[in-house]
Amino acid sequence: MSDKPTPPAAKRISVSEALVREIFAGRYQPGDFVPKEIDLCERFALNRSAVRSDLRQLVDAGIIERISGYGSRVRPYAEWNILDPQVTDWMVRFATPIPGIQREILAFRFDVEPYVAMTAAKRATARDLVAIEEAFEGMGQHLREPVDTGHRARLHSDCDVAFHVAIFKATHNIVWTQLSHILKPSIHLLVETSNVSASDPEESLERHRELMECIRTRRPRDAFFASVAVLEGTAAALGIEMPDTLLGEIPEALGDG
């Protein structure tokens, strides 16, 4: 009797991931039909049941729609479930930057994060401040490392995301905290791209420092506008113009209390 371990079964090719990669690369645009089931069966050497299962993943993610008698068509970006963890995972792994999706994510962040920062400035505990400061220090450390490597850039982006997630958690609101986990891949997608294209990374770091200081010194109104400034920097680095309506005055009813 052999004591050799049984080798793990080879993981089958994922039709959904192959198609997602091609959709994100622009091979199939919104409105285009992806190959029919029978063609996918032949291409990937899979049975129809396996292909249908994988296509169902894309349907559930809002990326494609099944049209009886015609096949599967790529849906408009605005109809994708971009906060679905599976979709954001695919976006981070496979997506070339798609301006339409970047703009939608950034617009959502403009609508949400200044209020999150303001709430964090009211409620952050000493432990929250340590988490924010540690993430900020990590950003600075990896930004200034002498060797510019992809690994360094990834570490800087990881710390940048951790900085924003720590601010969400500092609100001590269970919904905001859970939302930070859902948004994390989407924030990472923007952060990673904007950090690469930023014209002056030191200015970006300074904007993050100012936001941290506003939260630390409990200045809610200033934290609101410091968060807007951080997001404006992200928009500029991505080359995205955001509507002026997103950059308006803080509602007086919210005040500093």
**What Rg do the C-alpha atoms of the chain give, in angstroms?**
22
The verdict on 175 and 55 lying in the same domain is no
User: Are 175 and 250 in the same domain?
Assistant: yes
Higher pLDDT: 88 or 8? It is 88
Q: Is the pLDDT of residue 88 over 50?
A: yes
User: Which residue in 218, 255, 224, 230 sits closest to 125, CA to CA?
Assistant: 218
Q: Does residue 35 form part of some domain? A: yes
Q: Say if residue 142 is in the same domain as residue 224.
A: yes
The answer to the question of residue 26 being in a domain is yes
Same-domain pairing of 120 and 181: yes
191 neighbors 163 (Cβ within 8 angstroms): no
Q: Long-range contacts for 75-83 (Cβ within 8 Å, ≥24 apart)?
A: 75/30, 76/30, 76/31, 77/30, 77/101, 77/104, 78/104, 82/186, 83/182, 83/183, 83/186
State which residues form the domain around 30. Answer: 15-79
**pLDDT at residue 85, as a whole number:** 77
In a domain, 61, yes or no: yes
29 and 155 in a single domain? The answer is no
* 90 located within any domain: no
Residue with the two structure tokens 């955001």: 242
Residues 30 and 157 in one domain: no
Q: In this predicted structure, which of 10-19, 20-29, 150-159 has the lowest mean pLDDT?
A: 150-159
Q: Are residues 74 and 105 in the same domain?
A: no
Of 79, 111, 127, the one marking the end of a domain is 79
In a domain, 4, yes or no: no
pTM beyond 0.85: the answer is: no
Q: Are residues 74 and 110 in the same domain?
A: no
Q: What is the pLDDT of residue 257?
A: 47
Query: Residue 105 domain-assigned?
Result: yes
Residue 169 CA to residue 176 CA, distance in Å, equals 7
**99 vs 177: CA distance, rounded Å:** 27
Q: Are residues 132 and 232 in the same domain?
A: yes
Choice between 6 and 157, residue whose per-residue pLDDT is larger: 157
**Residue-wise pLDDT tens digits, 167-192:** 999 999 999 998 888 778 778 777 77
According to the model, what pLDDT value does residue 6 have?
A: 45
Nearest alpha carbon to residue 240 among 197, 201, 209, 184 = 197
Does a structural domain hold residue 94? no
Query: What number is the average pLDDT over the span 190-202?
Result: 68
Count of structural domains, the chain: 2
Domain of 74, CATH number, reads 1.10.10.10
pLDDT number for residue 166? 97
CA 94 from chain centre, in angstroms, equals: 13
Q: Are residues 53 and 153 in the same domain?
A: no
Residue with tokens 């249908």: 52
The average pLDDT across 115-136 equals: 97
Distance CA 223, CA 201 (A): 20
Point out the domain boundary residue: 79, 109, 131: 79
For 79, 100, 136, the CA distances from 82, given in Å and listed in that order, are 8, 12, 27
Mean pLDDT of 110-136: 96
Higher pLDDT, 234 or 195: 234
In a domain, 84, yes or no: no
Q: Is the pLDDT of residue 198 over 60?
A: no
Same domain, 185 and 129: yes
CATH of the domain at 162: 1.20.120.530
Lowest mean pLDDT among 28-42, 63-77, 80-94: 80-94
Q: What is the pLDDT of residue 43?
A: 95
pLDDT at 39: 96
- Same domain as 153, residue 66: no
